[in-house]
Amino acid sequence: MKINMQFPQCPNCHSADSVSYHKNCENGGVSPLQFETTNNIVECLDCGHSWEIHSSNYYCHCGHVFSATEVENEINAIIEVARMVAAELLRKQKIQEDMSEITGRSVGRWIKGFIEGSAINIGCAIGRIVGIIMKIFGI
């Protein structure tokens, strides 16, 4: 599962961010980088370039440039958290799909029962109305 790639904490100024961007992307690099949790690949959605997360370089707004190896523990933590988030999102998606299927079947049965019951009730009501009209007009 792909999720936004977090910017690790800068060893110089200690700032971090919830997303990273592709520096010098040929297409502007305005979309957050995506991290594929199953194979440790980072991908730029703007230009399609991809690379292994451990070969990444990070360019902080303070001007400091650092490699993934300099922040190896944080990169490993980012990977682990990303995998946990992905697993949770997939679990919730599966629950929603299961609920939709169950709800769809049960709502379908309810609607069918409602329509069938309503048809009988409407039929009875129409019959009563016709009977009353016939009595009123002596038919």
pLDDT in tens, 19-30: 889 998 999 889
pLDDT tens digits for range 10-20: 999 999 888 88
Distances (CA, A) of 99 to 1, 15, 93, 102: 22, 41, 10, 5
Q: What is the per-residue pLDDT for 88?
A: 85
Beta bridge partners, 50, equal 43
Residue 49 lies in domain:
2-136
Q: pLDDT-derived band of residue 47, with 50, 70 and 90 as boundaries?
A: very high
Residue 46 is predicted with a pLDDT of 94
Q: Which helix (H) or strand (E) holds 58?
A: strand 57-59
Across the chain, mean pLDDT equals 79
Q: Quick one: pLDDT band at residue 120, thresholds 50, 70, 90?
A: low
Q: For position 44, what pLDDT does the model report?
A: 93
pLDDT higher than 60, residue 139? no
Q: Is the distance from CB of 67 to CB of 53 less than 8 angstroms? A: no
Kindly tell me if the per-residue pLDDT of 135 is higher than 70: no
pTM to 2 decimal places? 0.58
Position 134 pLDDT exceeds 70: no
Pairwise pLDDT comparison (52 vs 105), residue with the higher score = 52
Give the H/E segment covering residue 67: strand 65-67
Helices (H), 1-139: 72-136
Number of domains in the chain: 1
pLDDT band, very low/low/confident/very high, at 127 (cuts 50, 70, 90): low
Are the C-beta atoms of 79 and 42 separated by less than 8 Å? no
